[in-house]
Chains A and B, each alone.
Chain A
Amino acid sequence: MRALIIVGHGSHLNEDSSLPVYEHAERIRLTGEFDEVVECFWKEEPSMRHVLDTVESDEVFVVPAFISEGYFTQQVIPRELGLEGPVTVKGDKTVRYAGPLGTFEGMPDVILERVEDLMRGRETRGRTSLVLLGHGTDLNKNSGGVIYLNAARIRERGLYDEVGVGFLDQEPEIGGVVENADADDVILIPVFIAEGWHTRETIPEDLGLTGEVTHLDGKRVFYGAPVGTHPSMANLIVARARETEPGRETQVV
């Protein structure tokens, strides 16, 4: 039997944080690719510490629903789940640990799908800038690095006049991204796993956004939903799991 465990951060304060994990799990359950699809969290139950107790399968795939490689994916998740590396044998269970979602090569496609959702029925005019918004932190360069990585991958496709980045907790700050965009239309996509305080409050307040479309500094600013709640993230989670299987490293999406 094969089990997929999706690891989310979760929250002690609201349901927003874990919701996409539950939704993606349900989408994957319906595909029938895994005998079991189980959610677990850092801040909610079941905890990472106990989730393996609930799984019957002997082949277990663990996929972190996190954007970047860092504190959680490198330290907290392996420690709490008792993982020793990409493959850990625990009793008769073989546990395969996948990388985070944001660094995956399929991520730019999901970001562009988010743009498509936002711009459906709307036409851009003049120069267009796509700006990816991330959390970022000066404590770990991977957090911002994953945003730069995706911006570079999208830039290579030549779809926009410019592709920029902005962060909550490091330079360049989100507050300046519209002003600094050399464009008539600016499309902002938050590269976050869930809706929450940052996507609903901090980012709109930093920029003075009033909804999906705001006119600022003579520019039209389009603000999309977070990438992590997009239904296609479920495919990314499955692809991340498949990638960990021997001989399947190259057979991703």
Chain B
Amino acid sequence: MSRAATDAAAAREAFAAWVEEAGEGGRVFGQVLVRAPEPGLFSLRHVEEAGASGLKLHEDPREAREISKTTEGGEYRPLKSSPNLRRGWELRVSGAGDLLVAMNYLYPAGVVHWHLHREGRLEVTSYRENAARQSGIYKRVQRLSDGGVQDTARACCEDAVCLKKTLWDVDEDTPLGMDRGDGEVPCPEPCSVFVSLARRVRLFEREKKRDLDAIGLSPSEKEDLAALVEAAATGHVEFAREAEFEKPLNERRMRYRRLTLAPKLRPGA
């Protein structure tokens, strides 16, 4: 057995054992409550439905993919660690192998990273290392300022929007200043959703240098404010899709604006 093969296989066994050791209460991984009602038998459900009855029962671990694909409102979930896992289901599987299959659809690669992190062997890649690899339309993220990385991480990675525990830093000398989260699922490297938001924030940084108006607002800041006002005036703010960062009413984009635009609008607040 190779070292890497051992890692994936060992993670499978370690995770099953971790759940079994927990007794009746089970373990929480992301938003999933995993319990072992008897050895080798696993029951998974949304953590907020620990005592619920009448849940839709699934017994094929690969049905976890459908469960994790859309929110309760039917919206596509590009990031499985977003705190928007739908409720109303129970998945019963037998054996550590099927448990891992299910977990890998609910939190892709989450179990093996959890295992490696517990053993102190998870390789972590900083933002700057990740950015250095980027090419094509993402190459520009190499020029994102340290402050821009910090604000993007706060906007994109805090528990309000992503339940992974952020392990990476801006670079080896510059730690992230955000609350990294308390969950069990480690995040060893900026993900593609993060890089996509970072690209958008870099576009904002560039315009700030050249296009500020008399009161210091950039064109995209004004666009976002106008979109917000117009939407709110209808009584119903419809948000853009989760990773649709080019649209003003995107939650993570708004979280970034809260960090960077709100202080400009309320100086001294």
Chain A positions near chain B (C-beta within 8 angstroms): 1, 11-15, 22, 26, 42-47, 49-58, 71, 75-76, 79-80, 90-93
Contact = CB atoms under 8 A, between A and B. Distances in A.
A56 B113 CA distance: 14
B4 A91 contact: yes
Contacts of A15: 69-70, 76
A12 B5 contact: no
Nearest to B244: A13
Count chain B CB atoms within 10 A of each CB in A14, A46, A55, A58 and give the residue with the most.
Answer: A46
B191 A45 contact: yes
A53 B192 CA distance: 17
B225 interface: no
B80 A45 contact: yes
Contact of A93 (B5, B62, B108, B196): B5
Interface of B: 1-5, 7-9, 62, 65, 69-70, 76, 78-80, 104, 108-109, 112-113, 116, 133, 135-136, 188-189, 191-193, 196, 241-244
B152 to A, nearest CB: 15
A14 B242 CA distance: 10
A54 B2 contact: no
Contacts of A90: 4
Nearest to B196: A12
Contact of B109 (A14, A45, A56, A75): A45
Contact of B5 (A1, A11, A22, A71): A1
Nearest to A13: B241
Nearest to A55: B8
Contact of B108 (A12, A42, A45, A75): A45
Nearest to B70: A15
Given A11-B78, A12-B241, 19 more contacts: A12-B78, A12-B242, A13-B76, A14-B76, A15-B70, A22-B65, A45-B108, A46-B108, A46-B109, A50-B113, A50-B189, A53-B4, A53-B8, A55-B5, A57-B5, A58-B5, A80-B133, A91-B3, A92-B1
B2 A92 contact: yes
Nearest to A22: B65
B134 to A, nearest CB: 10
A195 to B, nearest CB: 14
A228 to B, nearest CB: 19
Contacts of B104: 46, 54
B243 A12 contact: yes
A54 B109 contact: yes
B234 to A, nearest CB: 24
A54 B9 CA distance: 9
A50 B1 CA distance: 20
A43 B192 contact: yes
A54 B8 contact: yes
A58 B80 CA distance: 28
Contacts of A80: 133
B133 A71 contact: no
A119 B206 CA distance: 53
Given A1-B5, A51-B109, A53-B113, A12 B133 contact: no
* 7 tightest A-B CB contacts, nearest first: A92-B2, A12-B243, A45-B108, A46-B108, A12-B78, A50-B109, A56-B8
